[in-house]
Amino acid sequence: MDTFEIISRLSPAFGVSGEERQAADAALELLSPYGEGAFDKKTGNTVFWRFGRETDGSKKTVLLDAHIDEIGFIVTYITDDGFLKVAPVGGIDRRMLLASEVTVFGKECVRGVITSTPPHLEKDNKQLPEVSDIYIDIGYTAEKAKKVITLGDKVSVVNAPVKLLGDRISAKALDDRCGVAALIKTLELLKGESLDVNVALLLSSKEEIGEMGAKTGAFDIKPDIAIAVDVSFAYTQGEDREECGELEKGPMIGISPSLSRELSHSLIECAEKNGIPYQLEIMNGKTGTNADEMTVSRGGVKTVTVSIPQRYMHTPAEVIDTKDIDNTARLLACFIGGLK
């Protein structure tokens, strides 16, 4: 399936950490031709096994992880005027708050707008509001709001996916739905192939609040090898080139003291052999991805990161190049196809 089409199904689905069901269902529908899996209510994870799984111990298991959750807010209070007060879920960028449009995932989905002190009452209109300063206007009275919304309901920004020039796209929650898309495309490329390994997908929950889903998910799957597919920083004006990859230059293969150097090199070799563009992402300890939890799952798991370069992370206008998703899928498929 066309990558933009996959993103168009995954990105709009609601999936703020702790409320991943809708996003997981969208992914499961796209995955259904390639295997079997289900959403786990207990953890919020979705574990999906590719067809051909052997449970007799004859095959090793590769875990491909991408987190299905996205950053957002949680409703903490409803004012007498029917406005919602919220707390952040994950790392919220204060620069993008004001005048953004949101969905509140209550008994029904309710649209709203983020507001704060109006400019004419602001002595310093350069100061960004904190999340604790904002209100969400949903156009309801307090009475009506309380019928539809319960404290603890989650809120996400709204921004339907859109194509920019070339193969670039912009949407909310591309962190990490584009990783999920890469995993879907990986299974599409491997369809019908006879493999020497079991392939498990972990669409993990609650990454944005501390890699919680990866911890329980890796425990349940018991992998021999794990690959965390997430987004990382792509260079744009204002960034330091040394800290970033670049759009369109391919998946970023992680090298770090906390990762398996063997796997990093196997991936590099695989990319070289198959003519797949790649970049390196050098880290000096933990990676800030689900790999950090998976490496120390049970008795330890050989783990590596593969990251899709992204601009404007954690804003409603995240930007990626779909060629980087496609090349990530090619790299993963070639790598898994070659595993014994």
Partner 1 sequence: MDMFTELEALCNINGISGDEGRVRDYILSQIEGRCEVTVDPLGSIIALCKGKKKSDKKLMISAHMDEVGFIVTYITSDGLIKFAPVGGIDPRIVFGKRVVIGDKQICGVVGGKALHHLEGEEKSRAVPFDKLYIDIGADSKEQAERYVSLGDSICFDNNYITLGKDRLKSKAIDDRAGCAVMLDMIRQGVEYDTFFTFVVQEEIGLRGSTAAAYTVAPDYAIVLEATTAADIPASSDDKRVCELDKGAVVSFMDRSTLYDKTLYSLAFETGRQENIPVQTKTMVAGGNDAGAIHRSRGGVMTAAISVPCRYLHSPSCVISKNDLVSVRALAGELSKRIFEL
How far apart CA 302 and CA 205 sit, in angstroms, is 21
Q: Are 46 and 203 in contact (CB under 8 A)?
A: yes
Q: Are 171 and 7 in contact (CB under 8 A)?
A: yes
Q: Are 53 and 188 in contact (CB under 8 A)?
A: no
**Is 196 or 243 the residue whose CB approaches partner 1 more closely?**
243
User: Per the residue annotation, which of 207, 211, 281, 293 is the catalytic one?
Assistant: 207
Give min distance, CB of 146 to partner 1, in A.
13
**Is 44 or 90 the residue whose CB approaches partner 1 more closely?**
90
- 3-state SS class at 31: helix
Angle at 22 between CA 43 and CA 250, to 5 degrees: 85
DSSP state of 62: E
Give min distance, CB of 178 to partner 1, in A.
15
Give min distance, CB of 329 to partner 1, in A.
21
How far apart CA 92 and CA 136 sit, in angstroms, is 15
**Is 203 or 291 the residue whose CB approaches partner 1 more closely?**
291
**Is 144 or 298 the residue whose CB approaches partner 1 more closely?**
144
CA-closest candidate to residue 136, choices 99, 186, 184: 99
| Core vs surface per residue 98-134: b (16+ CB within 10 A) or e | eebebbbbbeeebebebbeeeeeeeeeeeeebeeeeb
Please give the structure tokens belonging to residue 335. 């790598």
Give min distance, CB of 52 to partner 1, in A.
39
**Is 68 or 247 the residue whose CB approaches partner 1 more closely?**
247
**Is 38 or 151 the residue whose CB approaches partner 1 more closely?**
151
Beta partners for residue 190, in sequence order: none
Please give the structure tokens belonging to residue 39. 């959403």
**Is 313 or 339 the residue whose CB approaches partner 1 more closely?**
313
How far apart CA 293 and CA 210 sit, in angstroms, is 9
Q: Are 336 and 197 in contact (CB under 8 A)?
A: yes
Give min distance, CB of 267 to partner 1, in A.
24
Q: Are 114 and 136 in contact (CB under 8 A)?
A: yes
Please give the structure tokens belonging to residue 195. 């493999």
54 labelled catalytic: no
Angle at 207 between CA 161 and CA 69, to 5 degrees: 35
Give min distance, CB of 51 to partner 1, in A.
37
Give min distance, CB of 207 to partner 1, in A.
14
Residues that bind partner 1 (CB under 8 A): 79, 81, 83, 91, 93-96, 98-101, 110-121, 125-129, 133, 135, 137-140, 144, 158-159, 162-166, 168, 170, 233, 236-240, 243, 247-248, 311-317, 319
Q: Known catalytic residues? A: 207
